[in-house]
Amino acid sequence: MARWTKRRENFRAILEGAECVHPASVHDPVSVRIAEDLGFELGMYAGSVASLTVLGAPDLIVLTLSEFAGQALRISRAAELPVLADADHGYGNALNVIRSVQELENAGLSGLSIEDTELPQPYGSGGKPSLISLEEGTAKVRAALAARHDPGLVIAGRTSAAAFAGMDETIARAKAYEAVGADAIFLVGVKNRADLDAVAAEVKRPLIIGGGGPDLADKDYLASRNVRVCLRGHQPFAAAVQAIHDTMKALRDGVPPKELAGIASADLMAKVSRKGDYDSWIERFLE
């Protein structure tokens, strides 16, 4: 759809630029509008937060593709901010990856990542994560690229090898995904500069990192290592849960509504709901 073109161009400009940005964690139309109004360059829509938002369930891959894509569309049509999505394992094998890319591209996302963790966790794993084979991981990235209709959509190959398989495996997988044409490499579990330096020396594609330690907090250093996006977690959703809990508890405990703390002002509510647009439409079309 033509309306997604500009935001995809903006995301590619980030990847092709010289700076590292921290995306806003978004999960619904209001959160993406807040991120856009605050001047964030990019939104991040994660599978873990989607599972909480849609199902109220932990991140155990019980969310379906249609549920994930449906929420992605609600986010995309609410604002013009580019949004990168964590599409987990593509909801199955390489054929499922093709379907995932088709649905998420049509949902207006500017980019998505496909990871090589074995998901959902198989019987008998005891909760211990593992990786699919390098060959299958590479096939999934190739399938994602082949399924893309709009060349502006960013496809990132994602690996969690750094978290539990070591840096040699991480570099091997990053280079393999780069070799088959991934637009970016998404690394999870890189904790220190030595490990990031090792990857950056071998991989030329832009890097996206998540789950980095305090050693990776300097944006200038990250930018110098070709990191263009650095995730910092999904605290906004957790903060919203706490705020709802505290407000409901206060009301249950008998606090008068006028005495509640932390309530959004009428002006902020009007802004995030785009009330001004609706007022103008009412005047133009209903009066």
- Cα 228 to chain centroid distance, Å, stands at 14
CA dist., res. 79 & res. 26, Å (int): 11
- Is there a contact between 21 and 42 (Cβ–Cβ < 8 Å)? yes
Q: Is the pTM of this model over 0.95?
A: yes
Q: Which of 144, 70, 140, 141 is nearest to 108 (CA)?
A: 70
112 bridge partner residues: 85, 155
- Is there a contact between 69 and 104 (Cβ–Cβ < 8 Å)? yes
Q: Which of 169, 178, 175, 216 is nearest to 194 (CA)?
A: 216
Q: Is 278 exposed, middle or buried (0-12, 13-18, 19+ CB in 10 A)?
A: exposed
CA dist., res. 274 & res. 49, Å (int): 24
Residue 224 in tokens: 């110098």
Q: What type of residue sits at position 191?
A: K
2-239: CATH topology: TIM Barrel (3.20.20)
Looking at residue 265, the DSSP 8-state letter turns out to be: P
Residue 156 in tokens: 């990132």
pLDDT, one tens digit for every residue, the chain (287 residues):
689 999 999 999 999 999 999 999 999 999 999 999 999 999 999 999 999 999 999 999 999 999 999 999 999 999 999 999 999 999 999 999 999 999 999 999 999 999 999 999 999 998 899 999 999 999 999 999 999 999 999 999 999 999 999 999 999 999 999 999 999 999 999 999 999 999 999 999 999 999 788 899 999 999 999 999 999 999 999 999 999 999 999 999 999 999 999 999 999 999 999 999 999 999 999 99
| Residues in contact with 208: Cβ distance below 8 Å, sequence separation at least 6, in sequence order | 84, 113, 156, 158, 184, 185, 186, 187, 227, 228, 229, 230, 231
The SS3 call for residue 263 is coil
Own/partner contacts of 232-237, CB < 8 Å, gap of 24 or more, are 232/22, 233/25, 234/25, 234/27, 234/46, 234/48, 234/49, 235/25, 236/24, 236/25, 236/26, 236/27, 236/31, 237/25, 237/27, 237/31, 237/49, 237/52, 237/53
